[in-house]
Structure 1
């Protein structure tokens, strides 16, 4: 009898728990069994591994092969276990030495010819290897994986990555005595990709909407744009990521790790804020994540970026309601009968909608033919609790023809972003977080206002019938306006502007 033990990783949400791959060879009728809650993709690895070993000119043991993926109660999915299973068979049968296998972790899908194919979640797995080493105060194992995943995995600075193109190359690494014949660790290169966003200078006029978006960017506030068709709501939203503060290394890594779980990460977009724009027919699972094997949804793929929901009332109401918790917490917890998973969802929401079914309610040309009841029903598709969680709600007016054809110079992204960056850094230096993340105690501490400003806020709260949440959100928006003005305290002018960004939707 012979036994080989190797290490790999599974995926469970953003976590990548360690999996021990045990391969046992015994006498008896030839058989190949995989145990340890393998899903269909893992069960099918038997055929991929057999063909890969034979085409690589190795002997496939005519024995009873048992592969155990431990822990037994953790579901295993995808083809990432092909490589450790194949190596385990070779080590257990004595075809490759096994003295150095415990210094590595392995992941990779095998083709029938023995070539290694890329896997998803490589960045999350590399994170887990380094965190596990830090937690145990030990040296991190090296990670051997397909070459196509090496650049992605090497974004984790403490990781030691060994990229391989084929099963033969991996086996030669462990069999070779000459160091020059071994696989060289991947040398990560600094990424200097050009970050490009659509520019605000393309948008004519709409000074009020641009100002509102600047305030939203400075304090990371969610915003609803309402106006007739063709007023530039989608155009404004698509340019919004270009005025946000630049991504830190930690933010970029977190965002890339989420995208790697869905094979959506590209080095060409390193440090570029995600911009997700799902169609209004998207399901709740597509928006927040889920499935038999939980995958991240649009709100997680927009982590540290922008989620743009166009034609907001056209989304199914049940789909919109699932946004309420992640808007507050910045995380989404997915629970199924057999699996639970958590994904980060610190996104910035921009929503756009028409004011009525035909879209022209309040238009200067008075084209609207909708009844008042139809307007209320249409706007009522957005529930009060969800609307209460959107910090800013503004009207984007239709442009008069003379402004549309007038030639005037608009500010570009760089000019607006410079002001936003300054305001954002004031928040970080003062409270260590953006204004939208302030809790109730921190609002009392950092959003101080004089007596006149307090009186203005109370009058607005009574007149507009705000909830306590709406009151606090107006204060946080006013704090962002004050930061843009480099004011240490909130003045009545800042509160007055913030109130204009919190108009009740059904008053329009």
Structure 2
């Protein structure tokens, strides 16, 4: 009997767990038996591993071979275990373990000729290996850029199974970690391109300062999409921990760039209005994959023509908007993905949407049904609502409007003030502050709260609406450089909330 061991990582959601792979060669009829809750892609790895080993100049054991992946109760999915399976078989064949193999995590898919192909989810897998104290992680060269983002662990890149065998024997070397290029932040849409729309520009600035959700309503061609596309340019760069978290999500999806793997700018995700619930919040069989809400984590999720979207897709946004994460239960377990994004919705006022409202041919019931998809509970979670109107010729002024760089500087100052204020609470932006904290420890003066009390007594706003209005008031206060919201800040925040499709 000969026994070999190798180690890999199973990624569930963004959480990785080490997997021990054992290869047992015993006497009996030739055959390969794979155990340990393997999915279809992993079952097919038996043929890939056999061809890769033989085509790399090594002998395939002509006897009974059992491959076990532990923990046995943990579902294993994908082709990420190919390299580790091959290493375990080679270790069992030589009847003597490699010292390097006992201390390394192996990731990668094998081609039939022994080449190692890149796989998804390498970044969260390497993060898990570092957390568990593994000294070395061997990844495909195609994934070396994203794996090199993780400090505190030796990261090596492998091109082929033959190269890996030479390294295990101590007769060769693997590619060392690489230094990633810095993404170019200079190319971006400028806020100065927007003609007119002073009120909407102000709302976008407030949304950027406090990470608030925004709803833009108006006829086509007035700049709703342009404003939404310029919001990410106003946001500050991601912190180191945020950048790793966002990049890990994109690694699981398979959308990490080889040249610049680290995502340092807030992402902008704009799914089509025909997107399904699974495409929006995540889904799939077995273990759920991230959707648009997770890919927009720490960035902007833009839903253009939101009134054309399905009701079920829109209502699925309620939980991530409130909790900042999405929990997806599937056959193989519950996947949890972060989803702390800024929602920006844009819609026409009615189906015909003429440039001049007087030319509208839609009956009143048709208008109500059109925006009726945006339910009260969903709109109650939107902090800023803006009705945009057609621009007149006077908006074409000789002086250019404020550029993105100017507004971004004000937003940065406001965010710094908010982060310093909420440090003890454990959050960084006004939109994340819990309601009880706003109503108790940081409640504005009685005079400043007067507009909110009036709206609450008249039934124009909910308790959640009070909390969200106070968050916007704090953002207005931070932009103005004051230490506490005054009556004007609260009234302005309330006016933004009562505009649009819901009061």
TM-score by length of 1: 0.94
Q: CA 1:176–1:444 in 2, change beyond 3 Å: closer, same or farther?
A: same
- Counterparts of 1:197-212 in structure 2, within 5 Å, are 197-212=188-203
Matches of 1:389 and 1:507, distance apart in 2: 11
Q: Please list, as runs of the form range in 1=range in 2, the aligned pairs for 1:40-51 lying within 5 A after superposition.
A: 40-51=40-51
Question: Does the aligned pair in 2 maintain the 1:255–1:303 contact within 8 Å?
Answer: yes
Q: Using the TM superposition, give the Cα deviation of residue 445 of structure 1 relative to its aligned residue in structure 2, in angstroms.
A: 4.5
Say whether residues 1:401 and 2:393 are aligned partners: yes
Kept in 1, the 8 Å contact 2:213–2:384? The answer is yes
1:440 to 435, 442, 451: 435
- How far apart, in 1, do the equivalents of 2:306 and 2:72 lie? 44
Measure, in 2, the Cα distance between the counterparts of 1:151 and 1:99.
Answer: 26
CA distance, structure 2, for counterparts of residue 156 and residue 340 of structure 1: 26
Q: Which segments of 5 or more consecutive residues in structure 2 lack a partner in the other structure?
A: none
Match of 2:290 among 288, 296, 304: 296
Contact 1:4/1:89 (CA < 8 Å) preserved in 2?
yes
1:282 to 267, 275, 281: 275
Residues 5 and 97 in structure 2, CA contact (< 8 A), matched pair in contact too: no
Asked if 2 retains the 8 angstrom alpha-carbon contact of 1:379 and 1:505, the reply is: no
CA contact (8 A) 2:269 2:301 kept: yes
Partner of 2:73: 73
Q: Is residue 2:327 matched to residue 1:337? A: no
Partner of residue 388, structure 1: 380
Alpha-carbon displacement from aligned partner over 1:179-207 (angstroms, at most 9, x marks no partner) = xx322532x42642212321111111111
- Provide the rounded CA distance (Å) in 2 between the counterparts of 1:14 and 1:426: 31
> What is the alpha-carbon distance in structure 2 between the residues aligned to residue 449 and residue 295 of structure 1?
43
State the SS of the aligned residue for 1:123: helix
**Displacement of 1:5 after TM fit?**
1.1
Q: Does 1:500 align with 2:492?
A: no
Match for residue 98 of structure 1?
98
3-state SS, counterpart of residue 423 of structure 1: helix
- Report the counterpart of residue 486 of structure 2 in structure 1: 491
Residue 241 (structure 1) aligned with residue 235 (structure 2) = no
> Does the 8 Å contact 2:268/2:300 carry over to 1?
yes
The reply on whether 1:18 has 2:23 as its aligned counterpart is no
Alignment partner of 1:216: what SS? helix
Partner residue in 2 for 1:255? 246
Classify 1:171/1:95 alpha carbon distance in 2 versus 1 (closer, same or farther; 3 Å). Answer: farther
Cα separation, 1, equivalents of 2:502 and 2:151: 53
Residue 163 (structure 2) aligned to one of 160, 169, 179: 169
Question: Could you tell me how far apart the structure 2 residues matched to 1:359 and 1:483 are?
Answer: 37
Given the alignment of the two structures, is residue 416 of structure 1 paired with residue 416 of structure 2, yes or no? no
Please report how far the alpha carbon of residue 96 of structure 1 lies from its aligned counterpart in structure 2 after TM superposition: 7.7
Distance (whole Å) between structure 1 residues aligned to residue 345 and residue 420 of structure 2: 30
Structure 1 residue 376: Cα displacement: 1.3
Question: Partners of 1:497 and 1:84 in 2: how far apart?
Answer: 60
The CA distance in 1 between the partners of 2:195 and 2:109, in whole Å, is: 51
CA, structure 1 residues 413+400, in 2 after alignment: closer, same or farther (shift >3 Å)? same
SS of corresponding position for 2:176: coil
What RMSD in Å do the two structures reach over aligned CA positions?
Answer: 1.7
Q: How far off is 1:38 after superposition?
A: 0.7
Q: CA deviation at 1:355?
A: 1.1
What SS class does the counterpart of residue 385 from structure 1 fall into?
helix
Does residue 470 of the first structure (1) align with residue 462 of the second (2)? no
Q: Contact conserved, 1:394 with 1:503, CA < 8 A, in 2?
A: no
CA contact (8 A) 2:304 2:347 kept: yes
8 Å Cα contact 2:141-2:175 kept in structure 1: no
1:203-257 Cα shifts (integer Å, max 9, x gaps): 1111111110000100000010111111110011011100012211111110000
Residue 364 of structure 2 is aligned to residue 369 of structure 1: no
Distance (whole Å) between structure 2 residues aligned to residue 300 and residue 87 of structure 1 = 35
**How much does 1:460 deviate?**
2.9
TM-score by length of 2: 0.95
Question: Take 1:210 and 1:114, find their aligned partners in 2: how far apart are those partners?
Answer: 56
Residue equivalent to 2:319: 325
How far did 1:465 drift?
1.4
State the number of aligned residues: 495
